[in-house]
Homo-oligomer: A and B are copies of this chain.
Amino acid sequence: MLDSMRQFKAGVFQALGHPTRVAIAECLSRGEMSVSGLSEAVGVEQSNVSQHLAVLRNKYLVETRKDGNQIFYRLRDPLLADVLEKMRQYFFAHMNEAMEVLREEQNGAANAIQEKTP
């Protein structure tokens, strides 16, 4: 039971664990948006956005509404927006490290890991 809970939570985190999906979730935390709208806002081609939306859908993180030709997506639960907001705070509290993490991920990670060994 405790195990299922962790598996579920990990699933949600993993669903949010991609820059494009973070971008999508952030857009949706400000209100519903169509797929083409998301595609433009996030700057990723339609079929790829659709695939990422499928990931979010499979974890029930988003809901949809059909309007004629288009499909509008929204976040399922405001708690998710809260999580994103916490993460925003975390980002600003750790900007310096954030930059370092990103720099390390740019270069080979091999040497970086050495330096971080306790």
Query: Per-residue CB proximity of A81-115 to B under 8 Å, as 1/0?
Result: 01110111111011001111110110001001100
A57 to chain B: closest residue by CB: B116
Number of interface residues of A (CB under 8 A): 57
Q: How many copies does the complex hold?
A: 2
Q: When the two chains form their complex, are residues B6 and A10 in contact, meaning their CB atoms are under 8 A apart?
A: no
Residues of B within 8 A of A97 (CB): 60
Residues of B within 8 A of A88 (CB): 9
List chain A positions with a Cβ less than 8 A from chain B. Answer: 3-19, 21-23, 26, 54, 57-60, 64, 66, 71, 76-77, 79-80, 82-84, 86-91, 93-94, 97-102, 104-105, 109, 112-113, 116, 118
